[in-house]
């Protein structure tokens, strides 16, 4: 039909190339249609309040959460504490009766403490006693023991030494006895050192340093006055100890002869009765000088030629025994210097090993009267207590306690 038009014939390779290009163009068209949709899906979208960014709903922290919070909520949530029960209602007050006045009753029941030393005749402490072994009487009426224990504790003591220009032998004996007491001290003891002639003098206040006690005793080398005012010095010491709490002791190293005190014997006796928690241990000195004077038919002269005869010393010994008995102590009358260490060992044993009794007196009146005390030690069945030594020999016992006490006084 078209004689002048030439017909082109394609080579097989060209046909394949055309097909490949058509397939590539179709692929590009499809790819351009897919990419916008994927990009739109991956674009960020605003986070909803209930979404925490990982597709999970966000956990709100409760008000009682106890730990720190993060993107996923609180780390620790304690358990709810149970509410405390309401307090009990106050006790109902009784209805007030018209015309009847209101009264309040306050009962003050005193407590009396009694320290008791139980030893054999040789001075050995008797251990192992119980509350049932003791009978306690006040003014003849038996009392019920409420508290009982065995005390073994440090001591609080005042070493009160007579140091006057009286007799050289007296001074040597007093210093020897004082050093023996210092040697018996233990590390937890509290000790004060005083000496007296016309007046009391404090050398060292309460201390636990044994070297301070030795230093105080080393100062007593040259005495001043020849007077020995025992009553004044003892009264002043008791007055100072009244402000010290707890149990106290006075180690009184003296001949016992009072020469010029302003305070009389009845005054110091009343002071001792009114002072509580103080035990006096007198140590007599000058025994050999007294014996020598009596053997030669004369008086043991003191400083300034003051004669002191045998009756004066016997009266002084009796006063020292009375002071010790009133306070639950014991008086010692050593004859030789070698006995001082043994005597202070006994005193230490008495002080550190004793029975403490307490009771509420049946006579509860606060009238300031002096009440007599008596302590007995019996067997558990009420019979006589028998104590035997290591050889099986029966030993007699001694019971040492204060003679009495002064009740408190309340003014109406």
The per-residue pLDDT for range 279-312, each reduced to its tens digit, is 999 999 988 877 776 776 655 555 544 566 778 8
Residue found by looking up tokens 């002084």 in the block: 316
Cα–Cα–Cα angle for 325, 331, 336, nearest 5°?
A: 170
Give the pLDDT score at 49.
47
**Cα–Cα distance for residue pair 52/73, rounded to 1 Å:** 10
How many angstroms separate the CA atoms of 230 and 200, rounded? 9
pLDDT in tens, 110-133: 899 999 989 887 777 888 899 999
Asked whether residue 258 carries a pLDDT value surpassing 80, the answer given is yes
Between 298 and 180, the more confident residue is 180
Given this model, what pLDDT does residue 13 score?
60
User: What confidence tens digit (pLDDT) does each residue in 40-70 have?
Assistant: 444 444 454 445 555 555 555 555 545 555 5
Distance, in Å, from the CA atom of 161 to the CA atom of 138, rounded to the nearest integer, reads 34
The least confident of 115-129, 261-275, 296-310, 334-348 is: 296-310
pLDDT at 75 (0 to 100): 45
Strand pairing class (69-70; 73-74):
antiparallel
Instruction: Quickly list DSSP for 14-68.
Output: HHHHHHHHHHHHHHHHHHHHHHHHHHHHHS--PPPTTB-SSSSBPPPPPTT--S-
Please state the rounded mean pLDDT for residues 124-144: 92
- Tokens representing 199 are 């007046």
* pTM (predicted TM-score): 0.66
pLDDT score of 78 more than 70: no
CA angle 325, 327, 331 (to 5 degrees): 45
Residue 312: alpha-carbon gap to chain centroid: 44
Average pLDDT, the chain: 80
DSSP letters spanning 257-273: ---S-SS-HHHHHHHHH
């Amino acid at each position: 039909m078209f004689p002048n038009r030439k017909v082109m014939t394609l080579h097989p390779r060209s046909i394949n190339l055309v097909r490949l290009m058509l397939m590539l163009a179709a692929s590009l068209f499809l790819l351009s249609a897919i990419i916008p949709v994927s990009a739109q899906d991956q674009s960020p979208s605003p986070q909803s309040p209930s979404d925490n960014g990982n597709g999970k709903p966000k956990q709100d922290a409760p008000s009682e959460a106890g730990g720190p919070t993060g993107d996923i909520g609180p780390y620790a949530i304690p358990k709810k504490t149970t509410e405390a029960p309401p307090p009990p209602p106050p006790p109902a007050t009784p209805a007030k009766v018209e015309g009847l006045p209101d009264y309040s009753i306050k009962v003050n029941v005193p407590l009396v403490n009694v320290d008791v030393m139980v030893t054999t005749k040789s001075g050995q402490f008797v251990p192992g006693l119980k509350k049932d072994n003791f009978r306690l009487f006040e003014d003849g009426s038996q009392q019920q023991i409420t508290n009982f224990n065995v005390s073994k504790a440090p001591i609080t003591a005042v070493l009160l030494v007579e140091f006057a220009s009286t007799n050289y032998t007296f001074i040597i004996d007093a210093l020897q006895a004082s050093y023996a007491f210092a040697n018996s001290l233990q590390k937890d003891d509290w000790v004060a050192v005083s000496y007296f002639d016309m007046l009391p003098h404090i050398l060292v206040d309460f201390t636990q340093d044994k070297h301070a006690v030795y230093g105080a005793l080393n100062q007593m080398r040259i005495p001043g006055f020849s007077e020995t005012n025992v009553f004044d010095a003892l009264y002043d010491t008791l007055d100072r100890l009244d402000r010290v709490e707890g149990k106290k002791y006075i180690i009184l190293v003296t001949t016992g002869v009072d020469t010029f005190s302003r305070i009389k014997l009845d005054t110091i006796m009343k002071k001792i009765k009114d002072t509580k928690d103080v035990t006096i241990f007198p140590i007599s000195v000058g025994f050999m000088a007294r014996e020598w004077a009596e053997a030669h038919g004369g008086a043991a002269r003191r400083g300034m030629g003051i004669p002191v005869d045998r009756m004066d010393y016997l009266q002084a010994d009796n006063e020292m025994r009375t002071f010790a008995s009133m306070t639950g102590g014991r008086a010692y009358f050593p004859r030789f210097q070698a006995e001082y260490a043994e005597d202070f060992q006994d005193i230490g044993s008495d002080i550190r090993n004793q029975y403490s009794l307490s009771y509420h007196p049946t006579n509860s009146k606060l009238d300031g009267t002096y009440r007599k005390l008596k302590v007995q030690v019996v067997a558990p069945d009420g019979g006589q207590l028998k104590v035997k030594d290591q050889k099986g020999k029966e030993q007699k016992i001694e019971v040492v306690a204060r003679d009495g006490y002064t009740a408190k006084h309340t003014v109406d």
